[in-house]
C-alpha cells in the first residue's frame, strides 16, 4: 500500500484528513511519524504558492508523495487582509485573541452587511517525480461585531455563517468539519488521489 505524507504536526488536521480519505488504499503518515522537524518558510504571495512550497519540499525531503496546505481569512472590506498573513496578522508572539481584536479594530466603522469575508484553504499534492497539483476550498461568511462561541480556533469566533445563524466557534466540531474550507479542499484532494491511485502514480 502506498504511503501519503500529511505535512502537518496538527493532530486536528490529521483527524480531518483521515476521515475524508477513509477507504482510499493509502497509509497516512505525518512529519512526526518520520522524525522530520524542518519548517518551511512560507514566502509565497498566495495560499497556493505556500502550499506548493511545502508539498514540494516535504516530498523531496521524504521521498514520499506529500500533501501540504495553506489557509487563511480574506476580508473584502480590507482588500483581502489578513490573507496569507492570517496566522501572523498581529505580529510575532500574538494570540488568536490578539488577532481577532486587531481585525475588529480595523473593521470598527464597517457595518455588518459590508463585512463579507471568506476562509480559503489550498491543498497541494506532490509526487517525488515532480508532479504537483493543487485544489482550493472556500467558505463564505461575514465578520461578526464581537467574538461568539467556544469551539474552534483562530478567527472562528468572528466568522458568522448566514446559513447556520451562528459563528464557526458556535458550531459543534462535527458540523464545522462537514462544511469548512479545509473539508471542501480535502474532498477535492481526495478526487486527485483517487485518480492518481487509478493511474498507478502513487507507486512510482
Q: Where are the beta strands (DSSP E) in the chain?
A: 3-6, 27-30, 66-75, 116-126, 132-143, 159-161, 166-167
How does DSSP classify residue 82?
Answer: B
Residues annotated as catalytic (active site), given as ranges: 70
How does DSSP classify residue 58?
Answer: H
The confidence score (pLDDT) of residue 75 equals 98
Poorest-pLDDT segment among 18-32, 52-66, 106-120: 18-32
The pLDDT of residue 190 is above 90: yes
> Does residue 156 have a known ligand-binding role?
yes
The pLDDT of residue 173 is above 90: no
The confidence score (pLDDT) of residue 153 equals 86
Percentage with pLDDT > 70 across the chain: 99
Strand partners, 120: 72, 138
How does DSSP classify residue 56?
Answer: H
- Decide: pTM greater than 0.85: yes
Task: Tell me if the domain spanning 3-203 has CATH number 3.40.50.620.
Answer: no
Q: How does 71-84 read in b/e, with b if 16+ C-beta sit within 10 Å? A: bbbbbebbeebbbb
Asked if 185 and 125 count as a contact pair (C-beta separation under 8 A), the reply is: no
> Does residue 33 have a known ligand-binding role?
no
The confidence score (pLDDT) of residue 10 equals 79
> Does residue 95 have a known ligand-binding role?
no
Degrees to nearest 5, angle at CA 98 with 85 and 101: 95
Residue corresponding to grid cell 497516512: 28
The pLDDT of residue 9 is above 90: no
Percentage with pLDDT > 90 across the chain: 83
Q: Strand pairing of 27-30 and 132-143?
A: unpaired
CA distance 183 to 16: 7
* 150-170 pLDDT per residue, tens: 987 899 999 999 999 999 999
Strand partners, 139: 119
Degrees to nearest 5, angle at CA 11 with 86 and 164: 60
The confidence score (pLDDT) of residue 66 equals 97
Give the gyration radius of the chain's Cα atoms.
18
| Mean pLDDT confidence for 177-181 | 91
> Does residue 153 have a known ligand-binding role?
yes
> Does residue 201 have a known ligand-binding role?
no
Domain boundaries, the chain: 3-203
> Does residue 13 have a known ligand-binding role?
yes
The pLDDT of residue 204 is above 80: no
pLDDT band for position 11 (cuts 50, 70, 90): confident
> 125: number of CA atoms within 13 Å, CB side?
21
The confidence score (pLDDT) of residue 64 equals 95
pLDDT band for position 102 (cuts 50, 70, 90): very high
> 174: number of CA atoms within 13 Å, CB side?
0
Please count the other Cβ atoms lying within 10 Å of the Cβ belonging to residue 49: 17
* 69-81 pLDDT per residue, tens: 999 999 999 999 9
The confidence score (pLDDT) of residue 1 equals 86
The confidence score (pLDDT) of residue 194 equals 95
Degrees to nearest 5, angle at CA 17 with 93 and 3: 110
> Does residue 203 have a known ligand-binding role?
no
Amino acid at each position: 500500500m502506498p504511503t501519503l505524507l500529511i505535512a502537518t504536526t496538527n493532530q486536528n488536521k490529521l483527524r480531518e484528513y483521515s476521515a475524508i480519505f477513509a477507504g482510499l488504499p493509502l497509509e497516512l503518515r505525518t512529519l512526526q511519524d518520520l522524525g522530520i522537524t524542518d519548517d518551511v518558510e512560507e514566502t509565497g504571495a498566495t495560499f497556493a504558492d505556500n502550499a506548493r512550497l511545502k508539498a514540494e519540499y516535504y516530498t523531496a525531503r521524504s521521498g514520499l508523495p506529500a500533501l501540504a496546505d495553506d489557509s487563511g481569512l480574506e476580508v473584502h472590506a480590507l482588500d483581502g487582509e489578513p490573507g496569507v498573513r492570517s496566522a501572523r496578522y498581529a505580529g510575532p508572539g500574538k494570540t488568536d485573541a490578539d488577532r481577532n481584536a486587531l481585525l475588529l479594530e480595523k473593521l470598527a466603522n464597517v457595518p455588518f452587511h459590508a463585512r463579507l469575508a471568506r476562509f480559503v484553504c489550498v491543498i497541494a499534492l506532490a509526487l517525488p517525480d515532480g508532479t504537483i497539483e493543487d485544489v482550493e476550498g472556500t467558505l463564505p461568511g461575514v465578520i461578526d461585531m464581537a467574538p461568539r462561541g467556544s469551539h474552534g480556533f483562530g478567527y472562528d469566533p468572528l466568522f458568522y455563517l448566514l446559513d447556520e445563524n451562528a459563528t464557526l466557534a458556535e458550531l459543534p466540531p462535527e458540523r464545522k468539519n462537514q462544511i469548512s474550507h479545509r473539508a471542501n479542499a480535502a474532498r477535492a484532494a481526495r478526487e486527485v488521489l483517487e485518480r492518481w491511485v487509478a493511474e498507478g502514480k502513487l507507486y512510482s
